Amino acid sequence: MGLGNPDLERRIKAGETLSREEALEIWDDVRCGIRKQFPHNSHNSTSFLADPKHREYIGEAFVLGFRFNELIAEFNNWQCPRQTDFADAKLDGMLNIYYESSPYALFVYIGMINPKNPNYDAVFDKTPWLAVEKLPNSYWDNEENRINATKWLVKTLRHMGKKVEDIVSNDFKLNFLHELVDRSGSAYAALVEAGYDVDPTQMHQVPKAYWGKQNRIKFTTARAKEIGRLPGRADLPEWMLAKAGGVNAALKEAGLLISEAKSE
């Protein structure tokens, strides 16, 4: 162990970069309680983990070791460590300070989304929401990431026989994309951003924000022409009626009640 090696202790205090084997030895001391914390050098009190190579060695060993642990794999298809697992491994401080409390940021750092890196994993690269407990906000700030995720969802649901118009917010949430749909505001908004030409009035779940006055008038007028009479409550969407203030209010703002009175 490190504490029994004077030369290793000297090099740590000098702030030298250790070998992979030595860095893992220090981590093992911390996990076993031999060291209360990761050491600091004696010059400027910089943490052992401030060295990016030390974080790379330890982070890589932890993540890859966790993923290929057969016992864990039995219960977790993707074998992806969560924040609680980092805490159990005495690495929660490293995660919080250097990776903004995001396991995904560490996965990126050790090359798991780089096709040229031996640690590359297509799941983490193409569909990380299937593997990572919580993606950082910055991931969903990227428009390309949002679009790719929505297209993946549409493709997945189409294989199951679901039309684009029938996709609702809950479909996003059931497929681990709740952060995406919450950010977009509705399934409709996410689909439009991804380039799908969908008529909101034909969707199974029309976004509430769609029912402004002009859209209500447009829909009510078109519905009246379609059925050849004044629409009743059963003919108009519930959320549209709620926004309009009821059936009569919807007909009146569309000019249909006035027209009926004149015809008499």
Could you write out the three-class secondary structure of the chain? CHHHCHHHHHHHHCCCCCCHHHHHHHHHHHHHCCCCCCCECCCCCCEHHHCHHHHHHHHHHHHHHHHCCHHHHCCCCCCCCCHHHHHHCCCHHHHHHHCCCCHHHHHHHCCCCCCCCCCCCHHHHHCHHHCCCCCCHHHHHCHHHHHHHHHHHHHHHHHCCCCHHHCCHHHHHHCCCHHHHHHHCCHHHHHHHCCCCCCHHHCCCCCHHHCCHHHHHHHHHHHHHHHCCCCCHHHCCHHHHHHHCCHHHHHHHCCHHHHHHHHC
Task: Tell me which of 126 and 259 has the higher pLDDT.
Answer: 126
pLDDT tens figures, 146-166: 999 999 999 999 999 999 989
> Contact, 66 vs 60, CB < 8 A?
no
Q: What pLDDT score does 211 carry? A: 82
> Contact, 146 vs 190, CB < 8 A?
yes
Give the Cα-Cα-Cα angle 178, 179, 183 (nearest 5 degrees). Answer: 115
Q: What Cα–Cα distance (Å) separates residue 18 from each residue in 8, 46, 52, 248?
A: 9, 15, 11, 78
Residues forming beta bridges with residue 47, ordered by sequence position: 40
Q: Write down the residue that tokens 């994309």 correspond to.
A: 177
Q: What mean pLDDT do residues 241-256 have?
A: 91
Distance CA 154, CA 159 (A): 9
Q: What pLDDT score does 68 carry? A: 58
pLDDT tens figures, 26-66: 999 999 999 999 998 876 678 899 999 999 999 999 998 87
> Contact, 49 vs 38, CB < 8 A?
yes
Amino acid letter, 209? A
pLDDT tens figures, 166-202: 999 999 999 999 999 989 888 988 999 999 988 887 7
Q: How confident is the model at residue 69 (pLDDT cuts 50, 70, 90)?
A: low
Of the candidate ranges 67-71, 144-148, 196-200, 219-223, the one whose mean pLDDT is the lowest: 67-71
